[in-house]
């Protein structure tokens, strides 16, 4: 029953990632709920969702030639930040990470809450005004995002999207292509380190990977038939509820 529950959570997370992003809000707490140690749960969740995350790059492949210059700027810091963040997780004790979990889940849920607002602001700014290409501040910000992504990961897409519009990119599809590639690199780097450190619960990761792939497939094919506002509301309710429960357990 636990494996079926994990597969279901991963399938829902894959579908949500295909529609809006934020699936880690479901997979990570699901692993915690069945007694998986927090650090192991985070590593297992990252690996389970990494294939689907990487697959999202394929949908934007035709925009890759137009963002090659930006890739040369952001790929090195994304890889470095992802490595640093994932390494920090490897040296964090379960007790310490468990106390951080409520804040991480709340932060990820708040990012999910403002996702639509940030996307609208970026689009409006791109249409209404000119922006100088402040590359180095954006590169430094991306490094910070990558460290957070390697450590926990939920919500990094919206953090990247929030800054890409202010460095000269005007096409939202190019922005999504760049965001997906960088996010995939961060997750792949983190997953590889977690695997080499023996931090992954393989039976659970295997079951969740199958569920996530199925969820990505269903989400990408049927997302237009599902009112996204209801999907977002469901994720927010779940995220805030989990935050309350984890805060109570860890700090009450």
Residue 159's nearest CA partner among 138, 132, 134, 128 is: 138
Backbone angles phi, psi at 207, to 5 degrees: -60, -45
Q: How far apart are CA 236 and CA 214, in angstroms?
A: 22
Query: pLDDT by residue (tens digit) across 46-95?
Result: 898 887 666 666 666 777 887 888 888 899 999 999 999 999 999 998 88
CB atoms under 10 Å from CB of 124, counted, come to 11
pLDDT in tens, 85-141: 999 999 998 888 888 878 887 887 777 676 656 656 655 555 554 444 567 777 888
**Nearest-angstrom CA–CA distance, 238 and 163:** 27
pLDDT in tens, 171-205: 767 777 788 788 889 989 999 999 999 999 999 99
Q: What is the pTM of this model?
A: 0.76
If one counts every other C-beta atom within 10 angstroms of the C-beta of residue 54, the result is 17
More confident residue, 153 or 199: 199
How many domains is the chain partitioned into structurally?
1
**Which residues lie closer than 8 Å to 192 by C-beta, 6 or more apart?**
none
The dihedral over CA atoms of 183, 81, 238, 245, expressed in degrees to the nearest 10, equals 170
Give the DSSP letter string of 74-120: HHHHHHHHHHHHHHHHHTS-HHHHHHHHHHHHHHHHHHHHHHHHHHH
Which DSSP state fits 21? S
Strand intervals (E) in the chain: none
Determine the Cα–Cα distance for residues 96 and 88; give it in Å rounded to an integer: 12
Q: Is the alpha carbon torsion for 64, 70, 76, 81 positive or negative? A: negative
> What domain range includes position 188?
2-251
- CA 238 – CA 154 distance, rounded (Å): 14
Structure tokens at 17: 């990632």
Cα–Cα distance, 199 to 167 (Å, whole number): 37
């Amino acid at each position: 029953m636990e494996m079926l529950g994990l597969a279901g959570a991963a399938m829902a997370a894959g579908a949500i990632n295909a529609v809006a992003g934020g699936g880690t809000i479901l997979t990570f707490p699901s692993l915690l709920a069945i007694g998986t140690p927090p650090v192991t749960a985070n590593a297992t969740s990252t690996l389970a969702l990494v294939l689907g995350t990487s697959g999202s790059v394929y949908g934007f492949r035709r925009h890759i030639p137009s963002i090659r210059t930006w890739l040369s700027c952001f790929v090195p810091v994304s890889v470095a930040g992802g490595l640093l963040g994932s390494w920090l997780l490897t040296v964090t004790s379960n007790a310490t990470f468990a106390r951080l979990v409520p804040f991480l889940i709340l932060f990820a849920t708040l990012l999910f809450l403002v996702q639509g607002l940030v996307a609208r602001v970026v689009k409006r700014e791109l249409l209404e005004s000119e922006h100088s290409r402040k590359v180095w501040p954006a590169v430094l910000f991306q490094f910070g995002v990558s460290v957070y992504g390697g450590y926990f990961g939920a919500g990094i897409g919206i953090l990247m999207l929030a800054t890409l519009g202010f460095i000269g990119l005007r096409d939202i599809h190019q922005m999504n292509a760049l965001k997906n590639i960088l996010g995939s690199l961060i997750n792949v780097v983190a997953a590889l380190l977690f695997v080499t450190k023996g931090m992954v619960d393989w039976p659970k990761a295997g079951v969740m990977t199958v569920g996530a792939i199925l969820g990505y497939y269903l989400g990408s094919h049927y997302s237009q038939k599902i009112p996204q506002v209801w999907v977002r509301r469901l994720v927010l309710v779940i995220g805030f509820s989990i935050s309350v429960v984890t805060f109570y357990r860890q700090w009450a």
